[in-house]
Structure 1
Amino acid sequence: MTSPPRVSTVQSGHGSIAGMPAAPRPGQSTWPATLALAAAMVLYVGGLQLWDQLTPSARAVAQGQPLTIGPARFVPAPGWQMDVARSRPGQSLVLVKSGHSFSVQTAAWHGDADGLLRREQRLLERGYRLRVEGEPSGFFTDWGLQGTTFAYYGARMSGRLWLVMDEARATVVTVDFYGPNQDTDAGAQALTEAQDMLASMDLGAA
């Protein structure tokens, strides 16, 4: 004969239902738990701020030593630092200096050069509300690097994009230089250094 099912009951004076903890009585204080929770939150937020201070977004790179991103390899210009937050191992590498950025990205591409060019121009114009300046032109370097380049600009920034197709690897290397356009002299100097870094680039790293 089976025993009758057990039924949870409410016991007067204990304040528990089906094993649930009793609610605090009117005379009981909950401030110690509240204080402990507040202290934990302060420590957590303070720890995040300390971590941000101890982990700078820009990191110095060895001068004269090539940097590698996918098949691309180039020598950084003096004074440029790596933006750790925007760089992804094997995918992108971003250098920064005085508000200017020099970004190198590699990605798979199985289309043609014209399709790639149209895609990048459309992204700048529609996605970032920038304007392409003039007509795209070809370029080549002493290391045999060749591709297409064009300039673009906006109300507060301007830049230049270089596109290199590596058909053997079905890979595209996108080199993007951009920065504020308020200081013409500083922008011209940064562009010259970006062109020097591009001139040192080859695709024999992988």
Structure 2
Amino acid sequence: MSGSQSYKTDIILTLYKDLRTVFRLVDVAMLSGVTDIPGLSKKLNYYVRKKQLENPRKGIYVKPDYNREELACCLYSPCYISLGYVLQKKGIIFQYDSQITVISYLSRVKEIDNQSYRYRKLKGELLVNNTGVMQLPNYVNMAVAERAFLDMLYLSPEFYFDNLNSLDKSLINKLLPIYQSGALTKRTEKLLCHV
């Protein structure tokens, strides 16, 4: 086996041994130790043609069975999954929506592999404050239900919630100050006074 063949095998093996399922070009360079970025890009595109990797967006490579939540957190960073996606999973809202909703530094909707990703902009100091955001072992940043509730109420003041009973009021009260919004505090108190 020639040195270049061994080298190619090492890159794909390195990626498949890694717990991540989504990689930016820079991630692959760091994992593999390759400094020739154009050459690395060519090698990765070879793996795409051989169907060992997929390339859903420029500069992003994924394993065939990639985690869509992980991709959501990789497209625009910093970001975290929140809003309707989390609220639906936690039974706070009942309306089904397959869209993955993400808090980020920009507002945008992306459609990749029949999955819709909706990014909502939140001001910088709120976005980088990770209070109430879990960093899951699968490289996914996801808001706890209480943070997702406050994010939604902050961005969509008139939003209707189906079931607030499972929310932790004391955690909400700990999270409220990070928003620095009297109006949000009043809306929250009004919604939670009957729960």
TM range (shorter): under 0.3
Q: Which has the higher contact order (CA 8 A, sep 6+)?
A: 1
**TM value normalised by structure 2:** 0.26
Structure 1 or 2: more helix by fraction: 2
* Structure in which a larger fraction of residues adopt strand: 1
Please tell me whether Structure 1 or Structure 2 has the larger radius of gyration of its CA atoms: 1
TM-score, L = length of structure 1: 0.25
